Amino acid sequence: MICAALLSGVLLVQAAALPEMGDLNAKSAALYAANGQELYAYNADEPLQPASVTKVMTMLLAMEALERGDVTLDTMITGSEYACSMGGTQVWLEPGEQLSLDEMLKAIAVGSANDCAVAVAEHLAGTEAAFVERMNQRAAELGCTNTKFINANGLDGMGEKTMTSARDIALISCELLKHPKILDYTGIWMDSIRGGTFSLANTNKMLKSYQGLTGLKTGYIAEAGYCISASAERDGLSLVAVVMAAPTKETRMADATALLNYGFANFAAYTPPEDALTPVPVSLGHADFVQPVMEGGTSFVVEKAKADELETHLELPDTLTAPVEAGQEIGRLTVTSGGETLLEVPLTAAEAVEAVTVADLFTSFLCGLVSGGEAQ
């Protein structure tokens, strides 16, 4: 989060020289690069209801459970009486009915199925309430400051409402995009479940109208208005546009289109040369070198107008002394254009290097004596 905040600040300073975005229809909006860099924000911290865009967090926790091996796509999820009682968009789960996690994710991402979102939440955490605790904890870990989830699907509760902001939804969406498998679901236009007997049509109509769109989730309830977290990729640049509380479906799509167009027109992905990050020697360690990596990803986003004159500057020590912790900041990468600093990115150790102990040195000394004697 420190890196994301730093990069966000740098890019917002640059934004003064960029073309104007133009007026938006929504109450709130944010444009992010998928690596977490903020490119544009409009009332982005205003707490608003996200409706079914809530499900980006539900899908994130499901994908993280998949990565940990807690579940597989073939894991069967059972619909409880409570999950099957959800209103709004649903696939009409019957109590006791089982669908695979693969079909549940498809129903959530494509059909915005409220019943499936709750069924998955109950399977992963035991109860939806326990899952909501995880949702809020994960949001806090991601730096979300205006978010309080009350359920897994975004419907209003008994006197309660899920509240979040465009910036927080962007942060969650960027984290979700670290799991590329989710795009196999959010990018589906039409499909079916239950052996082809129940059809699904994606609620995100931008999949058909916007080049490079990959997802992620739409949302609507009367109090929230029309919301969307729209992800798209062109020429190696992956963006997330969040629109909150647009007055109509058409204005939601128009605002998301304007945000993405602005991003693709004015920014480009930048990856430092492969040979720029050379290993740093380590003394008195169990490894002789440690590999520096860029905190926040392998590529970053810069103004397109300045991309042709980029220079990369590294600040790394000549040597490090063990112990070195994984993730420890060991240097800094600075990207400039025409003498102007565009990015400053912390460089961290890719892996830990433990320090050698006196016993290690003594053992090494004895081994040296033995091997030396054998050589004679």
Under DSSP, the state recorded for 142 is T
Catalytic residue, chosen from 8, 28, 52, 229, is 52
For the CA atoms of 207, 209, 211, 213, what is the dihedral angle to 10 degrees? -20
In 3D space, the residue among 142, 137, 122, 27 whose CA is nearest the CA of residue 79 turns out to be: 122
Output the six-digit token pair for 325. Answer: 């912790």
Length of the chain (residues): 376
Give the burial class of 261: count Cβ atoms within 10 A of its Cβ; 0-12 exposed, 13-18 middle, 19 or more buried. Answer: middle
Q: By the 8 A CB rule, do 269 and 55 touch?
A: no
Position 375: which residue type?
A: A
Q: By the 8 A CB rule, do 195 and 30 touch?
A: no
Angstrom distance (rounded) from CA 218 to CA 207: 11
Angstrom distance (rounded) from CA 361 to CA 326: 23
Catalytic residue, chosen from 8, 28, 55, 80, is 55
SS3 assignment, position 132: helix
Angstrom distance (rounded) from CA 93 to CA 96: 8
Catalytic residue, chosen from 8, 28, 112, 337, is 112
Is 192 one of the annotated active-site residues of the chain? no
Output the six-digit token pair for 88. Answer: 């709004």
* E strands, the chain, in order: 28-33, 38-42, 76-78, 98-100, 190-193, 198-201, 213-221, 225-234, 237-246, 267-270, 280-283, 289-290, 292-294, 300-303, 310-315, 320-321, 329-337, 340-349
CB atoms near residue 368 (< 10 Å):
10
Angstrom distance (rounded) from CA 310 to CA 339: 9
- The residues assigned a catalytic role are 52, 55, 112
